[in-house]
Amino acid sequence: MPQITLPDGSVKSFEHPVSAFDVAMSIGDRLARACVGALIDEELSDLSTVIDKDCTLALVTEKTRDKQDDPNAMYLLRHSTAHVMAEAIQRIVPGAMLVYGPPLENGFYYDIAFPEDRPLKEGDFEAIEAEMAKIVEEDRPFTRYELEYSEGLSKVKSEGSKYKLDNAHRAHEAGSLSLSFYATGEPGRDWEDLCRGPHVPSTGRIGAFKVMSLASSYWHGDENSDRLTRVYGTAFFSKKDLAAYLDRIEEAKKRDHRVLGKKLKLFHIDETVGQGLILWTPNGSVVRKELQSFISMELAKQGYHEVFTPHIGKLDLYRTSGHFPYYAESQFPPLIERDHMAQLSEEGCSCAQLSNHMTTGEIEGFMLKPMNCPHHIKVFDSQPHSYKDLPVRLAEFGTVYRWEQSGELNGMTRVRGFTQDDAHLFCTPDQVAHEVQGCLLLVKTIFSVLGMEDYRVRVGLRDPDSGKYTGDPANWDKAEQACREAAQTLGVPFTEEPGEAAFYGPKIDFVVKDVIGREWQLGTVQVDYNLPERFDLSYVGPDNEKHRPVMIHRAPFGSMERFIGVLIEHFAGAFPVWLAPEQVRVLPISEKSNDYAHEVMSALHAVGIRATLDDHDQRVQAKIKNGSEMKIPYLIVVGPRDAENRAVSVRAFGIEKDLGSMPLDSFVSAISEEYRTKGRSTVRQRFETVKA
């Protein structure tokens, strides 16, 4: 007879098998009513699950004790809502075949194959939601039943969906001896779906839901397989929670770098220039320049040397590096020399022949560089090296071009031309660990100055079962260990991911989320044994013999485009003084104060502060509103009173009222200090010292 251990350690004994719901009832009927599921021996289960042996049991309620969403409850709710949506869709579009409908972090989706002559459109959402509301209103129980595998399989077969049949096969392959089905209501009478569950007790528990969007997807994620329609939705226990979620999405959109980029005039993408090609406008250029010089300074401290290399290189260079033709699909097409072109044209060369000629190397041409490494290798190899020279660290803000699929392009975060904060380190095998650590130190320094703490670190290791890797296994072991140890020195949580290494070496990636919750890889540090081999690089060792150096590719911030895109969102457009395109705006109270305002602006310009003057014929309230919307760090109001005292009235971004008045000279020195120290000393602090 079951002895059930509850989370507080107490044990309940029952004479007969009981359901999780019965246990809840035995504690209290209010609790039972609040329950949506149960964790039985840590496994999320239906509330109706019958317990016939000893176990631990934790009841899952809509909210945790501290009124937060319970992730398990949300999982049950959203999984269940996916069923309700699927039923509604099948009522509206007969012949729609269900494929797979899992819950997600913020909702759920259902992949569905629609008849070709009846695709789902956004215009159908209203009708779907209306059907869903009916099903919720009917408050039908989710009823689980299981069939022995072969019996279940013949049931699924009789229903004629290859997708569900495939799901059944997969369940079997994963070790299931039976198949479970969930009826929304009564089996045999109401709608049902092959499903492993679990679910909330009944549709009435779904408090609020919304069909969000449509997308296409591939069956099994395989682009050569069937194209499915993915319908996204979300659900909450209360309408209030749903409204709050939708508000959060609206708020996040305001931080979106594409929205702020326009509003704050940071960058422009012009379709006549080309998709995915960023035009840095003056404001954005200031941010980029400040960041680049900061990085450059840190690089110099670490013994890097900056180089400049051109944007193109000969095709043959990329044959040696292996970029061409292997990655030709993600590159802009090669530039063919004019004489070759003319000759080929005379010979009546077809496109296919041209492509073959290029692959075999019979045609020379140039390529927009997809990576900086070949150029840097040639810089390294332009002179012989002794082991005493190593490591050689060559850095460049190098612009590269890649042919990203059109559907992938996204503001500044996914583009076709971008500038990496790239560097290549050439070192002895023994120096790898130290150099990798140096790269991570750089990341840590710069992230901490920017206040970026919300990133994750991924250590990509080789998949021991795969033979795709190049290089000596002993070196791999050492390099992987070096990466692992370096990641530990960062003091940030990291995950080791076997199979995520490049084919030529292990790597460390830095991943951040954007406002919509999408993850982007920023920086990467990669150990490479392959390219030194391909380019036959060498240095002379203490034994007077030639040795092969190891290369480390590192672009700790990825690209200036992506990094600044993420940075815009990180600061919600309100850059700190050192990065702000416009650091100070001077607001004269009226024309009468324009002369003094000009004087103030000149004093700021004289010390290199980016200051502007708003001499529009408006009241100061309006100027403050405009200045605040542009997220300018300091607005200084000057009127006759200030002019008389040679003072300024200071207003800092994000503070509702003004900080007070300060002598002009003090403000100039305080903001210079804030600029120079990247915010370690601020104008605000100056006010506080004065008060103290």
In DSSP notation, 374-422 reads HHHHHHHTTS--BGGGPPEEEEEEEEEE----GGG-BTTTB-SEEEEEE
- Is residue 373 among the annotated active site residues? yes
Site membership for RNA, residue 118 (CB under 7 A): no
Question: Which of 34, 104 has the CB closer to RNA?
Answer: 104
- Is residue 79 among the annotated active site residues? no
Among 150, 154, 216, 386, binds RNA (CB under 7 A): 216
Of 155-163, 192-200, 440-448, 641-649, the segment contacting RNA by CB under 7 A is 641-649
Q: Which residues make Cβ contacts (< 8 Å) with residue 606, sequence separation at least 6?
A: none
Q: Which entry of 164, 257, 402, 686 is annotated as an active-site residue?
A: 402
The amino acid that residue 397 corresponds to is F
Nearest to 607 by CA among 647, 660, 666, 682: 666
Site membership for RNA, residue 258 (CB under 7 A): yes
- Is residue 172 among the annotated active site residues? no
Binding mask 585-624 for RNA (x = CB under 7 A): ----xxxx-----------------------xxxxxxx-x
Among 362, 629, 665, 688, binds RNA (CB under 7 A): 629
Site membership for RNA, residue 81 (CB under 7 A): no
Q: CA 634 to CA 642: how far, in whole Å?
A: 16
Near RNA in 412-451, by CB under 7 A:
414
Q: CA 627 to CA 285: how far, in whole Å?
A: 20
Nearest to 299 by CA among 486, 159, 191, 446: 446
Site membership for RNA, residue 546 (CB under 7 A): no
Residue 470 near residue 515 (C-beta atoms within 8 A): no
Q: Minimal distance in Å, beta carbon 394 to RNA?
A: 18
- Residue whose tokens read 């008389």: 644
Among 327, 492, 669, 679, binds RNA (CB under 7 A): 327
Of 66-74, 81-89, 237-245, 327-335, the segment contacting RNA by CB under 7 A is 327-335
Of 27-35, 118-126, 285-293, 678-686, the segment contacting RNA by CB under 7 A is 118-126
Site membership for RNA, residue 279 (CB under 7 A): no
C-alpha 500: how far from chain center? 17
Q: CA 419 to CA 267: how far, in whole Å?
A: 14
Of 54-62, 354-362, 409-417, 478-486, the segment contacting RNA by CB under 7 A is 409-417
Site membership for RNA, residue 122 (CB under 7 A): yes
Site membership for RNA, residue 164 (CB under 7 A): no
Site membership for RNA, residue 269 (CB under 7 A): yes
Round the CA-based radius of gyration of the chain to a whole number and report it: 32
If binding means CB under 7 A, how many residues of this protein chain bind RNA?
78
Near RNA in 131-150, by CB under 7 A:
none
Residue 254's alpha-carbon distances to 259, 572, 634, 653, in angstroms, are: 7, 8, 22, 17
Site membership for RNA, residue 221 (CB under 7 A): yes
Residue 579 near residue 440 (C-beta atoms within 8 A): no
Binding mask 222-251 for RNA (x = CB under 7 A): -x---x-xx-x-------------------
Within 13 Å and on the Cβ side, how many CA atoms surround 283? 22
- Is residue 420 among the annotated active site residues? yes
Q: Which residues make Cβ contacts (< 8 Å) with residue 54, sequence separation at least 6?
A: 2, 3, 4, 5
- Is residue 424 among the annotated active site residues? yes
Q: CA 230 to CA 108: how far, in whole Å?
A: 10
Among 48, 81, 526, 612, binds RNA (CB under 7 A): 526
Near RNA in 350-379, by CB under 7 A:
370-371
Query: Which residues are the active-site residues?
Result: 373, 402, 420, 422, 424, 507, 553
